């Protein structure tokens, strides 16, 4: 029998992983640990062998793994948590905020569409109101595992030995206690995460179809003290701005950059493209002296493992002027199955 869980890099995901390992250790005594983030093919014979058990815990599974996990013989569930909690969880001292957001985008993009289509059970923030003991019972039921009261008490003790009273402890209280050492996002960081990753949390029968990449997430980086990002046009022809190097689910998308220019009295040509190792779409036009503008660039994303950038370049050298990137709206035109 194969048990699988798609989890985010969050405290809630970590609690579920610990819960699953304890459940299988108690109910199955022995199980194999299959590396869900790297495994290219599942030994599917395990699914038909009731005497053998295997666990897959995947945070950013590859496409091949997701195709295997769609097999109805595999008992599976998925956890959907706040992207804000994920960024706080992966952040380490000295790690740039933009790097944290980029890492989390990869985890979410890899599995989001699969979760909306194939996960029979999705646990989200609403599960946090459930008593921890009930949460464990529910997971055992989903995986069709037999659990005694003694087994349940043992698992609760292992998960929350530092907290009292455990009989009334909720999953949310355990998550809050486990989250205490994490560095919380400030208001601006939280706003940027919500804009660029927030829609991934709203899992329904329709995959995410709109994200917003604020200018503050683009490179070269300035101080992240606002929503947009402003750059000096002065200098040779070059790529001025690029980013945010986020990953996207597979599909046909369009990028809608919103930007403004000021003081460009000598004129220039602005080139905007979508790049993921290769140029996927491009637009260019004469750049006026000032004003606020937008455009649309369609592109296909066939590999959720590749980072996507929107790049802004000037075609000629400039002697004055500023370009400000407000944001880039990313909208899905159609999915690819």
* Res. 14 pLDDT band, cuts 50 70 90: very high
pLDDT at 204: 57
59-85 pLDDT tens trace: 877 777 787 888 888 888 888 899 999
pLDDT at 226: 63
Greater confidence (26 vs 266) lies with: 26
Greater confidence (265 vs 328) lies with: 328
Per-position DSSP letters for 54-92, written without gaps between them: EEEEESS--HHHHHHHT-TTSEEEEE---HHHHHHHH--
Could you give the CA distance from residue 327 to residue 270 in angstroms, rounded to a whole number? 16
Asked whether the predicted pLDDT for residue 191 surpasses 90, the reply is yes
* Res. 94 pLDDT band, cuts 50 70 90: confident
Averaged pLDDT of the chain: 86
Asked whether the predicted pLDDT for residue 105 surpasses 70, the reply is yes
Q: Cα 67 vs. chain centroid, distance in angstroms?
A: 19
Q: What is the mean pLDDT of residues 111-131?
A: 82
Of 50-54, 173-177, 210-214, the poorest mean pLDDT is in: 50-54
CB 57 within 8 A of CB 76: no
Contacts of 48 by beta carbon, 8 Å cutoff, 6+ apart: 73
Residue in the block written with tokens 């529910």? 138
Asked whether the predicted pLDDT for residue 197 surpasses 50, the reply is yes
Greater confidence (65 vs 166) lies with: 65
Asked whether the predicted pLDDT for residue 336 surpasses 60, the reply is no
In CATH terms, the fold of domain 209-335 is Jelly Rolls (2.60.120)
pLDDT at 279: 94
Of 9-13, 97-101, 253-257, 318-322, the poorest mean pLDDT is in: 318-322
Strand ranges, E, within 263-321: 268-275, 279-287, 291-294, 297-301, 307-314
* Res. 276 pLDDT band, cuts 50 70 90: very high
Q: Does domain 2-178 have CATH number 3.40.50.300?
A: yes
The strand order across the sheet containing 307-314 reads 238-247, 307-314, 268-275, 279-287
pLDDT at 337: 46
pLDDT at 232: 83
Q: What is the mean pLDDT of residues 297-321?
A: 88
Greater confidence (96 vs 63) lies with: 96
Residue ranges covered by each domain of the chain: 2-178, 209-335
Greater confidence (38 vs 49) lies with: 49
Q: What is the mean pLDDT of residues 248-277?
A: 91
Asked whether the predicted pLDDT for residue 188 surpasses 80, the reply is yes
* Res. 149 pLDDT band, cuts 50 70 90: very high
pLDDT at 220: 80
Q: What is the mean pLDDT of residues 6-26?
A: 92
Greater confidence (111 vs 193) lies with: 193
Q: What is the mean pLDDT of residues 201-224?
A: 79
Could you give the CA distance from residue 44 to residue 22 in angstroms, rounded to a whole number? 23
53: left (phi over 0), alpha (psi -120 to 50) or beta: beta
Nearest-CA neighbor of 203 among 95, 321, 77? 77
pLDDT at 12: 92
Contacts of 266 by beta carbon, 8 Å cutoff, 6+ apart: 318, 319, 320, 321
Could you give the CA distance from residue 239 to residue 311 in angstroms, rounded to a whole number? 7
């Amino acid at each position: 029998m194969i048990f699988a869980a798609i989890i985010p890099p969050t405290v809630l995901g970590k609690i579920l992983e610990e819960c699953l390992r304890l459940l299988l250790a108690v109910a199955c005594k022995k199980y194999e640990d299959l590396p869900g983030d790297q495994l290219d093919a599942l030994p599917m014979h395990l699914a038909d062998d009731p005497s053998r058990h295997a666990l897959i815990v995947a945070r950013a599974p590859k496409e091949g793994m997701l195709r295997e996990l769609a097999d109805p013989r595999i008992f599976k569930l998925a956890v959907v948590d706040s992207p804000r909690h994920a960024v706080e969880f992966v952040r380490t001292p000295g790690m740039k905020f933009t790097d944290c957001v980029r890492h989390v985008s990869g985890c979410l993009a890899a599995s989001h569409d699969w979760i909306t289509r194939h996960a029979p059970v999705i646990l989200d923030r609403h599960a946090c109101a459930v008593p921890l003991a009930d949460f464990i019972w529910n997971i055992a039921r989903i995986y069709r595992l037999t659990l005694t009261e003694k087994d349940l008490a043992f698992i609760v003790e292992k998960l929350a030995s530092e907290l009292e009273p455990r009989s009334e402890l909720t999953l949310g209280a355990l998550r809050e206690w486990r989250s205490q050492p994490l560095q919380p996002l400030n208001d601006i960081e939280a706003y940027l995460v919500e804009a660029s990753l927030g829609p991934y949390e709203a899992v329904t029968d329709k995959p995410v179809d709109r994200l917003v990449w604020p200018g503050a997430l683009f490179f070269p980086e300035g101080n992240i003290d606002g929503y947009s990002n402003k750059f000096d046009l002065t200098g040779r022809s070059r790529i001025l701005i690029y980013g945010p190097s986020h990953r996207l689910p597979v599909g046909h998308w369009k990028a809608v950059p919103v930007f403004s220019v000021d003081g460009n009295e000598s004129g220039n040509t602005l080139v905007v493209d979508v790049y993921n190792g290769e140029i996927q779409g491009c637009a260019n036009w004469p750049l006026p002296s000032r004003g606020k503008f937008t455009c649309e660039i369609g592109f296909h994303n066939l590999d959720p493992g590749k980072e996507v950038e929107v790049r802004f370049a000037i075609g000629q050298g400039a002697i004055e002027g500023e370009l400000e990137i407000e944001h880039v709206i990313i909208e899905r035109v159609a999915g690819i199955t």
